[in-house]
Structure 1
Amino acid sequence: AFSTKFQQEWDDTLKSRQTQLHGKEKTLMELEASLKKKERNLARRERKLEKREKSCESKEEEAGVGKEKKLLRKISCLEEDLVKEKERNYLYRCGLPEDLQDYDVLQVAFLQREV
């Protein structure tokens, strides 16, 4: 009688654990399916975003906005180079040694006052 009762409790415990495990496996599969769905949605959104960005870029290029910005940046860089070149020419005309010609005009003026 004792072993039958013990066997019945063991079987009930085992059945309960199997039911719990099955429930957890089912939940896990549902979570995995949900994750896959979310990943697909995210990939779709990323593709849509890329298409929009390309569309905006092409519209800007058609409108000349992209070209205008590029030209303005190039002009700005050229202006900076011109200023640097004028400073170098000024320093060269002042007869400074080449190792000091990389300093900007204000630094050189300060150094000349110190000497």
Structure 2
Amino acid sequence: MSWTHSRSTTPRRQTSSPSPSGERLSIEPKREVRSVRIRLRDQSESKSAEFKVKVTVRWIQLKELYARQHSDMDPTSLRLILEGNRVDLTPDSVIADSLDEDTVEGEVITVDVVLER
């Protein structure tokens, strides 16, 4: 099974959001990732399906997430709400790489999922 992703960015207005530790983070109008392409490939079959879903970020350790992108740490599970259901999207590096230190809990991003079977 192989995973690929593509990203698109849009500017975001400045906001602030409490971090898990309770401190408020000032979010500058830097890049914001709105979509992620996830490609699942099963070598035993040849069918494919593509669809977009919106996911709401429910749990993100912002600093740890950013550190995961820039270190050799093994990523921990990133829990997202996918169409009302809690799922773990793995490998986590695909999702973690699509988010950055400006991503806040409760933010809605679009995930473009490609299932190749």
- TM interval, short-chain normalised: under 0.3
Structure-1-length-normalised TM-score:
0.17
Give the structure with the larger strand fraction.
2
Give the structure with the larger helix fraction.
1
- Pick the structure with greater CA Rg: 1
Q: Of the two structures, which has the highest relative contact order with CA contacts closer than 8 Å and spacing of 6 or more? A: 2
